[in-house]
Structure 1
Amino acid sequence: MKEAISKEVAYFINIISNSLSLSQLLTISIYPMKKAIVTILSFLFLFSSCNYFKSMGSNDFEKSSGIEIENLSSEKVRDLKILGLTWGFLKYYHPEVASGGYNWDFELFKIMPEILDCENGVERDKVLLSWISKLGEFELEDDPQEHDESEIKIKPDLEWINNSGFSADLQSKLNDVKQSKIGYWHYYVNGNLNVANPIFRNEAKYDSMIYSDVGYRLLALFRYWNMIQYYFPYKNLIEKDWKEVMEEFIPIMVAAKSEVDYKLALVKLIGEVHDTHAQYYGPDTTLTHHFGSNRVTVKLAFVEENLMVIDYSHVGFEMSLKIGDIILSVDGKTIPEILDEKLPYNPASNYATKLRNLSGKILRSTTKSINVEIDRDGKHMKMDLPTYSMKELLNNKKSKDEDMYKKVRPDIAYINNGIIKKIELDDLWSKFKDTKGLIIDIRNYPSDFVLYKFAELLVPNKTPFTKISNVIYKEPGLFKFTRTLYVGDDNKDYYKGKVVILVNEKTQSSAEFHAMAYRTAPKALVIGSTTAGADGNVSEIYLPGGIRTLISGIGIYYPDGTETQRVGIVPDIEVKPTVEGIRAGRDEVLEKAIELIENH
């Protein structure tokens, strides 16, 4: 069965894959409902009876890729890099692969031994050309879409097709694939119907992967690398040529023969994209044990370049540390030495957020105690700190005592954006609408999406606050600005006072999005420090070994196109906590906000 999937079928497969509710289905009128339902049911019948997808039929490699690499020369690294580039390009651009015609993971395992056996580039190109030709014929796009250059954010990185020294025949074949007609439905990726961030589909997790299997380790590298190559909206902000990262990590993956080495290699790879959303998620006993499963019951933060105790994390446990203590060394290693060792395994968009993430991991151990040297009010001392397992700490976490709303001065209101709910705004409006100033604390993560309702109270008219970019799914790797979002409407009764927005490295993703919207208020001022620099609806990725990670799936910019990723929400006035302030129990950022309003 080689006939094209109709638009109706493609649309409904996309709907089903994204699990829309019946009520949502009933509101859809893009295609004739009756015709679409009949078509999709017919398709599903044919699918089940004739096994259209070849990818469902092969299980030859379920237990082993069969790949062995004894000696990895620089030439073989280059050949594997070319294979990784080509495999991913075909995955997302070749119509037969995009339709689900092949189990593309297993096709990698079939072709890799042939590539490894090639003695030179001429042989390699012949193998690749024969492989591509066997995938089947395809139509070329006869009416390619033209794009307004002013709307393009990132162009597809496909220059390697023409500048890698391939044979003329292979180069011509790859360029044909680039111009192929990709259908409306893709077996491996579709856009979310609401915001169009990528939904990666049909990617086997291989939970029972044998970690000594080099084929599966390289599959993990190639899969992740190509997802970033074609669907990461901030690929332009990666510090290296992304193709060099592929070449750099091939020897690392080949050498990572144990479970812990493989997972550490993936953590480092994930860190290369510099996206705070891109973490290694989920319970993992191997890495938990590696980094230390026992913890000390304090909260740490880097304050004026010092690692400092700022609070207690749990109650009811013995603790010799005091708030304000500065940690100088842990088990004989200085803090700079620990940073050099651990920062590569702490992915984040910027340095401030790396330190935020790492601060909670430094006092971890596989043993029942940690030896630290501290500075307490200028006096150095050493002490052994007890550590506790997560089971011991369960149900003993220190609760936060925070106000959702309060008056910090008779004419200055304070709202905690991490606690407030939309339903509470109407009542709060009557309390703060006539105040001189309003402080919105976004040094947290929103518990509700109050952005639009709250912003209506702050701005006098419809105002743009963000521009969004999306991948163009028929041209993977192409990102365009697709829409601008607005807050507010004509409102003469908007808030007339000074608005001060508090941010820091804990202001991440939705919190940054809220800050951008509130910043449009006429008398708004953002104070604090660098935010996490990771905005946009996330897309989920699974890698061999059942490893889960995320990426920011859409691009978020200011209305003029200014970047927010990595740089974060840059404050108008930088204010950071100080060692002296922490020891005195002060909130210096809040104090500055009050001062700015009082002097306004």
Structure 2
Amino acid sequence: MKKLIFTFYVLLLCNSMYAQDSLNFDFEILKEKEAVGWSSFGNKEYNIVYDTAISQNGVTSASIEGNGNTDEFRVLTYTIPADFGGKKIKLTGYLKTENIVNGWAGLWMRIDPDISIDNMESRKVQGTTDWKKHEVELKTNNNATSISFGGLIVGTGKIWVDNFKITVDGKPLDQAPEKELDKEFDKGSKITIDLSQKNQIENLTLLGRIWGFLKYYHPEVGKGNFNWDYELFRILPDYQKAKSNTDRDKILSNWIDNLGTVKICKKCKPLDENAVLKPNLSWITDGNLSKDLINKLQFITQNRHQGNHYYIDMVRGVGNPEFKNENPYANMPYPDDGFRLLSVYKYWNMINYFFPYKHIMDKDWNESLKENIPPFINAKNELEYELAALKMIADIKDTHANLWRGKDKINEILGDNYPNFHVSFIENKLVIDNFYNEDSPRNGLKIGDIITRINGKKVEDIVTDNQDFYPASNQPTRLRDISFNLLRTTSNSLDIEVEDNGIKLIKTIPVYNKKDIKDFYKWYTKEENISSYRLLKNNIGYVSLKNIKDEDVNKIKKELKNTKGIIVDIRNYPSAFMPFTLGSFFTSSKTPFVKFTTGNIDYPGEFTFGDNLYIPSKGKTYQGKVIVLVNEISQSAAEYTAMAFRAGDNVSIIGSTTAGADGNVSTIYLPGGLKTMISGIGVYYPDGTPTQRVGIVPDIEVKPTIKGLIEERDELIEKAIEIIDDAKIAPINAKD
């Protein structure tokens, strides 16, 4: 069997390290007829049974039976963390087979990340055999993070497996040696940074570039042979003492030499001349570096790391970056100087080499490293550190980015108290657009009131003062996010200035802890027990993706097929994935709708286009007019869905600028327990038109008005009905 099958992306259940009896290596722990901790992958036509009639040891074994051909297989798998040391890991287990005639069976074990693997393909078990003990032994090292193992069958027949055991260097798991870890700086970097020294910021900027370059390019670092965070702390003391560029470059050159010999790379390919993005390494030759240092950096570029990398991978089947083995250092909420510098270096280099939209920021990312070192180093407390990180994150202009974890002090300052009404920006004014529930006291306020001041300060001034701390792809989305926090407070009340028909009044309003506000999150969560579709007047269908379920699609196709038009509302986040299942209803032929750019771990910084993705045409095609509604709430999966529907035969998109953040997200951890994300792949229309930041540009722009809000009208739906009523295409029956 091809080893490729073991590269399939599988969600494996990890267990804590206990004695083997408690780890269910022998299938004795069952829950609802399933063996706890075990999973499977491969052809689902194979039947897996936890068999209490046949076993080698105890009561239960696991069996797999199927009639696949020689290319089909099914694998049982169990995963444990590799939180121990040792040099060799041996798996033993018992295997029984029946009628394995056009395939084979075996045990298997894999040590990740891609350290070693054996599936017994070279010593296949075939035919009919009674219980027999087999073993698989692999070499391991300190870079191992997990161990997966189990039994497999290829082709036709039946197997039973039972009584697995693992030993490490000949000892049981609970006696395995401890992993040898680099713990020198676990309690602090012991680094103090004085930015007042001559050329200090310039030198630290150079070090950050080289540290990140070596992290992703140097073969020995890529193998995981160094704790690269801690290597920074080892070089910093001498580096800061350098009195000249010559001294500085010697320190850097010796550092590179100590990493080990870089061998000639025969697999390294040149840059793709059609790459959308290429790594910018001009700083190597433009940075006044010594000839010796330049030569070494260029040699590493030409003979860079290839294949599996300890710190970076691309998610299989998608292509967004997976940042691996990154310690969040959550035990130090206010990191010291060295760790705060490390935070800048980590984030800058992750974006520099693996962010697909680096070229469309407002700022030059090449200048951002130097710009961000002072605020990080000068941060005097946890709050200032969080703010420095949030501002740097906001600079990449990606709505997926934010401080999703680790902004405890920011949240303390903002508070958890809110008024009992919701606000949004309409016609560039902060407007009350709803109350959280009908029983809420109104305090003399009503829907449509305009808030002009909060605690005496103009709303527009508050927005200007805070917008740099809101990561967003565009201004409408930034205002969307700012509006959520404008009336947030630690106090028990707020003073607001309200404008109604040109008259301004100052009101003191009570606020409540969000836990005590009914339906506080109703704008962002799925509404239960509400149908995703209905029939409007004039034979027009309406579908909301906020509540849609997979099983709704066939009902929609059946019940709305002869309507004059369908309004698809994506002013929300879809509750199910609809691009292909519902999108195919709107197109009569296979139609391209999107293509992606993905990064390259073999040449960090390079991004290339993949092939177009297509919406298929399945069954009967809808003949009426389709109107898709979008606004700044439409983000990520909503935008992707709108792109797919736009490929339909008679589809128009109306509304306003969407969030401009599409592409599968990648998670980034930074010192202090900070967690952020990025859009990990570039999303484009087939002709190369971008979507990031610009969003899904509507065919007809329609924005809500304050007047329409007061009159309780949905002006986008009104416009959609008008377009459908005026459409020249009148459906008779859906066609094949």
User: What's the TM-score, normalizing by structure 1?
Assistant: 0.92
Instruction: Using the TM superposition, give the Cα deviation of residue 405 of structure 1 relative to its aligned residue in structure 2, in angstroms.
Output: 1.2
Matched, 1:407 2:530: no
Question: Which deviates the most, 422-431 or 89-98?
Answer: 422-431
Q: Alignment partner of 2:216: what SS?
A: helix
Distance between the aligned counterparts of 1:14 and 1:125, measured in 2?
44
Post-superposition CA distance 1:293-333 (Å, at most 9, x none): 21112111111111101012356543423110100000011
Instruction: Using the TM superposition, give the Cα deviation of residue 455 of structure 1 relative to its aligned residue in structure 2, in angstroms.
Output: 1.2
Instruction: Give the conservation status (yes or no) of the 8 Å contact 1:204–1:544.
Output: yes
Matched, 1:124 2:252: no
Instruction: Using the TM superposition, give the Cα deviation of residue 525 of structure 1 relative to its aligned residue in structure 2, in angstroms.
Output: 0.7
Q: 1:422 aligns with which of 539, 550, 562?
A: 550
Q: Give the structure 2 partner of residue 236 of structure 1.
A: 359
Matched, 1:459 2:587: yes
Post-superposition CA distance 1:520-573 (Å, at most 9, x none): 111111110000000011001111111111101111100011100000000011
Instruction: Give the conservation status (yes or no) of the 8 Å contact 1:161–1:171.
Output: yes
Q: Give the structure 1 partner of residue 395 of structure 2.
A: 272
Distance between the aligned counterparts of 1:574 and 1:220, measured in 2?
42
Correspondence list, 1:218-237, <5 A: 218-237=341-360
Instruction: Give the conservation status (yes or no) of the 8 Å contact 2:264–2:303.
Output: yes
Distance between the aligned counterparts of 1:355 and 1:346, measured in 2?
9
Matched, 1:159 2:287: no
Q: Give the structure 2 partner of residue 522 of structure 1.
A: 649
Q: Alignment partner of 2:628: what SS?
A: strand
Question: Which deviates the most, 367-376 or 210-219?
Answer: 210-219
Instruction: Using the TM superposition, give the Cα deviation of residue 508 of structure 1 relative to its aligned residue in structure 2, in angstroms.
Output: 0.3
Post-superposition CA distance 1:248-301 (Å, at most 9, x none): 110111111200000011110110110000011137432111122211121111
Instruction: Using the TM superposition, give the Cα deviation of residue 155 of structure 1 relative to its aligned residue in structure 2, in angstroms.
Output: 0.6
Correspondence list, 1:28-47, <5 A: 37=109, 39-40=116-117, 42-45=137-140, 47=142
Post-superposition CA distance 1:43-92 (Å, at most 9, x none): 45455879xxx995211111111111234346110100001111111111
Q: Alignment partner of 2:557: what SS?
A: helix
Q: 1:549 aligns with which of 676, 684, 688?
A: 676
Q: Give the structure 2 partner of residue 180 of structure 1.
A: 303
Question: Which deviates the most, 465-474 or 189-198?
Answer: 189-198
Instruction: Using the TM superposition, give the Cα deviation of residue 238 of structure 1 relative to its aligned residue in structure 2, in angstroms.
Output: 1.5
Distance between the aligned counterparts of 1:159 and 1:289, measured in 2?
43
Q: Give the structure 2 partner of residue 513 of structure 1.
A: 640
Post-superposition CA distance 1:202-236 (Å, at most 9, x none): 11111111626111111111111111111111111
Distance between the aligned counterparts of 2:287 and 2:105, measured in 1?
48
Instruction: Give the conservation status (yes or no) of the 8 Å contact 2:586–2:650.
Output: no
Q: Alignment partner of 2:485: what SS?
A: coil
Instruction: Using the TM superposition, give the Cα deviation of residue 394 of structure 1 relative to its aligned residue in structure 2, in angstroms.
Output: 6.5
Distance between the aligned counterparts of 1:449 and 1:199, measured in 2?
23
Q: Alignment partner of 2:580: what SS?
A: helix
Q: Give the structure 2 partner of residue 576 of structure 1.
A: 703
Question: Which deviates the most, 438-447 or 37-46?
Answer: 37-46
Q: Give the structure 2 partner of residue 205 of structure 1.
A: 328
Instruction: Give the conservation status (yes or no) of the 8 Å contact 1:498–1:524.
Output: yes
User: What is the identity, as a one-letter code, of the residue corresponding to 1:103?
Assistant: N
Structure 2 CA distance for partners of 1:56 and 1:439, relative to 1, 3 Å: farther
Distance between the aligned counterparts of 1:11 and 1:206, measured in 2?
35
Instruction: Give the conservation status (yes or no) of the 8 Å contact 1:68–1:215.
Output: yes
Instruction: Give the conservation status (yes or no) of the 8 Å contact 2:571–2:632.
Output: yes
Distance between the aligned counterparts of 2:709 and 2:333, measured in 1?
49
Q: Give the structure 1 partner of residue 509 of structure 2.
A: 385
Instruction: Give the conservation status (yes or no) of the 8 Å contact 2:284–2:297.
Output: yes
Distance between the aligned counterparts of 1:256 and 1:299, measured in 2?
34
Q: Alignment partner of 2:644: what SS?
A: helix
User: What is the identity, as a one-letter code, of the residue corresponding to 1:441?
Assistant: D
Unaligned runs of 5+ in 1: 1-6
Q: Alignment partner of 1:577: what SS?
A: coil
Correspondence list, 1:479-490, <5 A: 479-489=607-617
Structure 2 CA distance for partners of 1:46 and 1:107, relative to 1, 3 Å: closer
Instruction: Using the TM superposition, give the Cα deviation of residue 505 of structure 1 relative to its aligned residue in structure 2, in angstroms.
Output: 0.3
Question: Which deviates the most, 349-358 or 132-141?
Answer: 132-141
Instruction: Give the conservation status (yes or no) of the 8 Å contact 1:12–1:36.
Output: no
Instruction: Give the conservation status (yes or no) of the 8 Å contact 1:469–1:483.
Output: no
Structure 2 CA distance for partners of 1:396 and 1:86, relative to 1, 3 Å: closer
Structure having the higher strand fraction is 2
Percent of residue pairs identical: 40
Q: Give the structure 2 partner of residue 192 of structure 1.
A: 315
Question: Which deviates the most, 286-295 or 312-321?
Answer: 312-321
User: What is the identity, as a one-letter code, of the residue corresponding to 2:279?
Assistant: P
Instruction: Give the conservation status (yes or no) of the 8 Å contact 2:405–2:673.
Output: no
Instruction: Give the conservation status (yes or no) of the 8 Å contact 1:503–1:526.
Output: yes
Instruction: Using the TM superposition, give the Cα deviation of residue 199 of structure 1 relative to its aligned residue in structure 2, in angstroms.
Output: 1.1
Q: Alignment partner of 1:445: what SS?
A: coil
Q: Give the structure 1 partner of residue 492 of structure 2.
A: 368
Kindly report the root-mean-square deviation, in angstroms, between the aligned alpha carbons of the 2 structures.
2.7
Instruction: Using the TM superposition, give the Cα deviation of residue 410 of structure 1 relative to its aligned residue in structure 2, in angstroms.
Output: 2.8
Q: Give the structure 2 partner of residue 3 of structure 1.
A: none
Unaligned runs of 5+ in 2: 15-37, 45-70, 74-103, 111-115, 118-135, 145-167, 170-177, 728-736
Flag the structure with larger Rg. 2
Structure 2 CA distance for partners of 1:55 and 1:523, relative to 1, 3 Å: farther
Q: Alignment partner of 1:208: what SS?
A: coil
Instruction: Using the TM superposition, give the Cα deviation of residue 422 of structure 1 relative to its aligned residue in structure 2, in angstroms.
Output: 1.9
Distance between the aligned counterparts of 1:521 and 1:378, measured in 2?
46
Distance between the aligned counterparts of 2:494 and 2:420, measured in 1?
12
Instruction: Give the conservation status (yes or no) of the 8 Å contact 2:222–2:311.
Output: yes
User: What is the identity, as a one-letter code, of the residue corresponding to 1:351?
Assistant: Q
Question: Which deviates the most, 516-525 or 409-418?
Answer: 409-418
Instruction: Give the conservation status (yes or no) of the 8 Å contact 1:139–1:181.
Output: no
Structure 2 CA distance for partners of 1:312 and 1:283, relative to 1, 3 Å: farther
Q: Which has the higher contact order (CA 8 A, sep 6+)?
A: 1
Distance between the aligned counterparts of 1:107 and 1:184, measured in 2?
23
Post-superposition CA distance 1:159-215 (Å, at most 9, x none): 111111110000110111112242421111111112121111111111111626111
Q: Give the structure 2 partner of residue 586 of structure 1.
A: 713
Correspondence list, 1:51-66, <5 A: 57-66=181-190
Instruction: Give the conservation status (yes or no) of the 8 Å contact 1:191–1:473.
Output: yes
Q: 2:606 aligns with which of 478, 482, 486?
A: 478
Q: Give the structure 2 partner of residue 4 of structure 1.
A: none
Q: Alignment partner of 1:186: what SS?
A: coil
Structure 2 CA distance for partners of 1:56 and 1:463, relative to 1, 3 Å: farther
Post-superposition CA distance 1:338-396 (Å, at most 9, x none): 01111111110001100001111100111111100010222210111111123333676
Distance between the aligned counterparts of 1:558 and 1:573, measured in 2?
18
Structure 2 CA distance for partners of 1:550 and 1:71, relative to 1, 3 Å: closer
Instruction: Using the TM superposition, give the Cα deviation of residue 398 of structure 1 relative to its aligned residue in structure 2, in angstroms.
Output: 5.7
Structure 2 CA distance for partners of 1:268 and 1:19, relative to 1, 3 Å: farther
Structure 2 CA distance for partners of 1:315 and 1:200, relative to 1, 3 Å: farther
Q: 1:261 aligns with which of 384, 388, 404?
A: 384
User: What is the identity, as a one-letter code, of the residue corresponding to 1:389?
Assistant: N
Q: Give the structure 2 partner of residue 300 of structure 1.
A: 423
Structure 2 CA distance for partners of 1:314 and 1:266, relative to 1, 3 Å: farther
